[in-house]
Amino acid sequence: MKKHVLLAVALLTGLLMAGCGFHLRGSQALPPNIESVAVTAVKPHALLERALNERLDVYQINRVALSQLTGNNDTAIIQLMPETLERRLLSVFSTGQVAEYELIYGVTYQVTFPDHEPIRGYFEILRDYQDDPDQVLAKSRELDLVVGEMRNEAADRIIRQLARQASEL
């Protein structure tokens, strides 16, 4: 009896979620009007470009090199501007040394869909970062990991916004 009730509740929940347009966040698919994506960066060998290309592969979105584009292609072009990383002071130790920062990772990009005007986008990703002057090497490595996670989150966000903008065309 319990199994039947549990199954009915699971089916009802699934139907309600599907009916309201809910999609899993990790299942990014481009609409049929976009076949592939080309990524380029103003700064050569940008780390965000590498992260974005890796995330496109994870989502199984076809990507092409900018040099391979032909005139009548259904390819969206993402152009990445230089990323920014700023630190804002949050707190200090009683000795006056910085105890905590807020990291602000800024991303500016431009998406060009076939036969449409370019769409420019900007967003920021924020993280708190605790500093310890006694463990400089460990904190330096931790900062690199945090910035890498922020970069991956930025790549995911660009793909989500790309899918949303493409579906609005």
Cα–Cα distance measured from residue 129 to residue 30, given in angstroms and rounded to the nearest whole number: 35
67, amino acid identity:
S
Topology adopted by domain 30-167: Double Stranded RNA Binding Domain (3.30.160)
pLDDT in tens, 6-18: 666 776 676 666 6
pLDDT in tens, 93-137: 888 888 899 999 999 999 999 888 999 999 999 999 888 777 777
What tokens does 11 get? 């089916």
Phi, psi dihedrals of residue 151, rounded to the nearest 5°: -65, -45
pTM of the model: 0.77
Q: How is 39-86 classified by DSSP, letter by letter? A: EEESSTT-HHHHHHHHHHHHTT--B--GGG--TT--EEEEEEPPPEEE
